[in-house]
Structure formats: C-alpha cells, structure tokens
Amino acid sequence: MSKKYDVIIVGGGPAGLSAAVYASRSKLKTLLLEQNRKVGGQPTTYEEMENYPGVLDTTAPELVKNFREHAEKFGTEIERGEVKDVSLDGRIKSVITKDGEEYRAKSVMIATGAEPRKLGVKGEAEFKGKGVSYCATCDADFFVDLEVVVVGNGNSAIEEAIYLTKFASKVTVIVIHEEGVMDAEKILQERAYSNDKIEFVWDSTLEEVKGEGLVDTAVLKNIKTGETTDLSCDGIFIFIGRVPRTDFVEEELELNENGYIEVNSERLDTNIPGIYAAGDVRDKYLRQVITAASDGAAAAMAAVGYIEEEDYWQENVLEAEETVLVAFWSPTNEESLEVINRLEKIDLGAKLVKIDTYKNTLVSERYDVNEIPTVLKIEDGEVVDRTVNPKLEEINEFI
C-alpha cells in the first residue's frame, strides 16, 4: 500500500534539505528520499566550508548535518530509497523505489544533484575502487605517504588536491591548459601553488590507467605534441565535472542537451505542474551549497502555493455539485473590480468563486485566461461558457 504525502523530495543534498525545511515549516506532510546511507549530498565528501555566509567555523559535513536536524525539527520524514520510476501526470504523483516501495504526493521535487563525470579512458572502470577515485574525502586515508594524481583544474579538483596533501606524500595535478592557466578560483590557485606537496603537469590529459591489481601508472598525453609518458603513482583522483542524475525522469520531464532539467527560473517548476527541480540537477550558473539551498527554498514555496491553489480549485470548483461562476480578477484592474462587485450583489443562482490572477497563475494559465475580467461558467468540472471583458449590462444575460 502506497504512503501519501503532500510533498516528496527526491534527493537529500543541500537543495533537498532546504526544501524540506521550508515545506515542513509550511505544515505540509513532507517526505525526503535519499539513496545513500547518509543525507547531505556532495558536501559530505568535502572538508572545508569557507564561503557559506554567516557560518565562520564549520566543516561541510557539519553544515549539512545541521540542515538535516533543522528539517527534522519541523517534521520532515527522511527515508532511504533510490527512485527508479515516477508517474508525474495527474493531480496525485507517484514515486517508486528500487525496493518496490511506492509513495504518492500532490507535488514532487527532484533534487538528485549530479554524479562525477567519468573520463572513459582505458583502465578507468577496471581500477575504480582499486586506486581510481572520484572523492578525496572518502578515500584520502588509503593513500597516506603515497603519491597520487589529480585530473582536473576546476574548484573541486584544486580543493581536493589541497586536501589530499594532508595524507599523500606528493600530489601531481594534470591540467589540460597551458602553464599557469586554471579554471579554479584565484584564491585556490594561490594555495595550490604555495603547497610544497603539489606539482603540475600542463597541456596534458589522462590517456590510460595501468596497474597489477592496483593502480601503479598514469599514462599522460600532451595535447600539443601527442607524446605519451608514464607517471608512476599509487592513486588517481578524477575531478572533471559532474553529470546530472536525471535518468529516472527523462521520459517525463524536459531536459536540455546535457541532461539537466529545464525549469522556470523563478519558481523552478518543470513542464509538468506540481513538479519542481532544485540544485545541481538543473542547469545553472553557480553550483554552490548556498545556491542549492536557495533553490530548495524557492521550489518548496512554489510547491506550497501550487498545493494550496490546486486544493482550493478542486474543492470549490471541480467537485462542486452546483454550477460555478469563476471570476478572474486583479485588485489593480478597475474593470475586474466592477464585475466582481456586480456579481456579489445579484442573485446568481450559482456558486461564485473569485480567482486573483496574480496569486493563482497556474489556474489562469490552465484555462487560457489572458485578459481580465474573464468569467467562466463551470458545470460538473467542465467549462460550458466563457465571457471576456463583459459589460455590466451583459452579466445578467451571461448568467
């Protein structure tokens, strides 16, 4: 038997946890599903946390631990489960995990983040977990006093390279750009350059991983000369970006060419009403804990508005036993105010429902209300008549 919620959040990183705080605090019955043993997402694999405003002395794992406690304080239920299938059309959405558990909700938020991008070079898959890693915080203690290679030159790569120097005797960073050029922030570059344990190989990529049971060689290729060289090492850490985890929704949601979920930039809603995407699973300019948390808050409040709007419409219009006159209006539109005033004063012989188009955008869009005032006559949940910009003398005739 499926379990029912107001909101289901798929993914327990900063975006999902932030959304859980806002949704639960808004008195919505909220479930957060996380496939890993611990919630927290990518920050659980980092160490330093220097740029979250107002938090001066904490680690990344400690920060997301506080996120979780905050969400649970307001009543968020957190369960472990990897989602394999979804049914997102209709008023009630369905989420099914690989274990066969089904959960249902009025709104679903996708906050599954992204996973490390693979290079796809020879030996990479063979030696994964045997010297090839994508997480320094997870695996650094296996390389105490050993020599390792880091592939990549963005923020994550350089941060992880610096972290690895706490364990490894030597860290060699493989950079695809010419000497002195990196994608990481300047402050990270300066720290890496000043670290005696870090060396750089420029204009190069990883061509192959070799070893006997465990990694012992990184084959490097110079992109200018094409020359390959063998670099002896005990481990290879690859940080060349991430790929969004969207495979389970690719048949239902609109994705861009790189697999990220397309969303409205303000409400973070997708092409399906009531479905939202937050954090690194959507294409965005800046991928940081603070922007993920911001996404979660925005998407959660959009979901709150959606549920309130849908519940009101369902109860007062679609399930109404009598004829319903729905008047779309705005407090800033004088003509619509006059129509509302007129409708409230006469015997309609029907139920009157007023819809503020500013607050109820989804209903307005669904019924193609592009001008106000607009009045719909609805019977048994179906529109049987419509009038746009009616004159006061025309209202009685329409009724």
Q: In a 3-state reduction of DSSP, which class is residue 385?
A: strand
Question: Which residues does 359 contact at the CB level (< 8 Å), separation at least 6?
Answer: 305, 309
Q: How far apart are CA 176 and CA 150, in angstroms?
A: 12
Q: Which of 6, 89, 135, 183 is catalytic?
A: 135
Question: Which residues does 369 contact at the CB level (< 8 Å), separation at least 6?
Answer: 328, 357, 363
139 belongs to the catalytic site:
yes
Please spell the DSSP secondary structure of 35-86, one letter per residue.
SSSS---GGGG--B---STT--S-BHHHHHHHHHHHHHHTT-EEEE--EEEE
Taking each helix axis from N to C end, the angle separating 186-193 and 155-164, rounded to the nearest 10 degrees, works out to 30
Calculate ∠ Cα 158-125-245, nearest 5°: 70
Q: Which of 57, 85, 138, 385 is catalytic?
A: 138
Q: Which of 6, 57, 89, 139 is catalytic?
A: 139
Cα 41 to Cα 62, 85, 111, 164, 295, distances in angstroms: 12, 21, 10, 20, 15
Active-site residue numbers? 135, 138-139
